[in-house]
Structure 1
Amino acid sequence: MSDKLLNIFHQSHSGSWAFIVILFVVSAIFYRQKITPMILRLFYLIMLVSGIGMLIGYGFPVKYVVKGIIAIVMIGLMEMILGRMKRGQGKESSTKILFVVWAVLIVIVVLLGYGIF
């Protein structure tokens, strides 16, 4: 894979992560809206496609495969949190625990992505 294509994947991947975090927070604050979760799901797809492209380009290093698995778990957590908030279960302690787990996982994913771990 060419360096130019790998750079495109990298830029779209890191940009989509930034948008995902911002859109998730906005969706959690305005949980009754329908458009922000839809846009958030679009960025999930962009993040997944660019991440898989980078995995192929780098030859599937174990560190990044683990990061990808954690990212898929994070997507599930975000959908669970938004679903609970939409159903009115947002103030329960289990939802707050999911928020804490999500925050810890986002830190781990960012640290793995930038090579700190």
Structure 2
Amino acid sequence: MYNILLQSHAGSWAILVLLLVVSYFAPKQKITPMIQRLFYLIMIISGVGMLAMIGFPLLYILKGILAIMLIGFMEVIVGRRKRSESTKKYWIAVIVLLLIILSIGYDLI
């Protein structure tokens, strides 16, 4: 069961990054942000399931909090792009958070 959750979690992250790029470069589309939100749910549910299976270690709880922040910044980027506002500082935050989250997830930290 853990492997199923792990694969769906990792796959949803990869798809989320792709959907963020598509949503950014095609701001008039309405379907990509909806699909993006569906994958947020898949990612959160699979992440909480894995946390429950491994006993809620503190480092992975921190990873979950950072992931929720990352989701927020992704939503801000899509929203600000639709309103033609600057998104540079949010992209920097997304990249930094994504690197930290991936480092924790792949046991580099």
Same fold by TM (over 0.5)?
yes
Residue 87 of structure 1 and its aligned partner are, at CA, apart by: 1.1
- Which residue number in structure 1 is paired with residue 84 of structure 2? 88
- Which residue number in structure 2 is paired with residue 100 of structure 1? 92
- Which residue number in structure 2 is paired with residue 48 of structure 1? 44
Structure 1 distance, partners of 2:104, 2:25, is: 28
Deviations 1:45-82 (A, max 9, x none): 00000000000000001111000000000000011111
Paired amino acid for 2:77 = I
Structure 2 distance, partners of 1:51, 1:31, is: 28
Larger Rg: 1
- Which residue number in structure 2 is paired with residue 66 of structure 1? 62
Residue 31 of structure 1 and its aligned partner are, at CA, apart by: 1.2
Give 5+ residue unaligned stretches, structure 1.
Answer: none
Structure 1 distance, partners of 2:20, 2:78, is: 8
| Aligned 1:27-42 pairs, distance under 5 A | 27-42=23-38
Structure 1 distance, partners of 2:12, 2:73, is: 17
Residue 32 of structure 1 and its aligned partner are, at CA, apart by: 1.2
SS at match of 1:56: helix
How many aligned residue pairs are there? Answer: 109
Residue 88 of structure 1 and its aligned partner are, at CA, apart by: 1.6
- Which residue number in structure 2 is paired with residue 110 of structure 1? 102
Q: Aligned to 1:23, which of 19, 30, 35?
A: 19
Give 5+ residue unaligned stretches, structure 2.
Answer: none
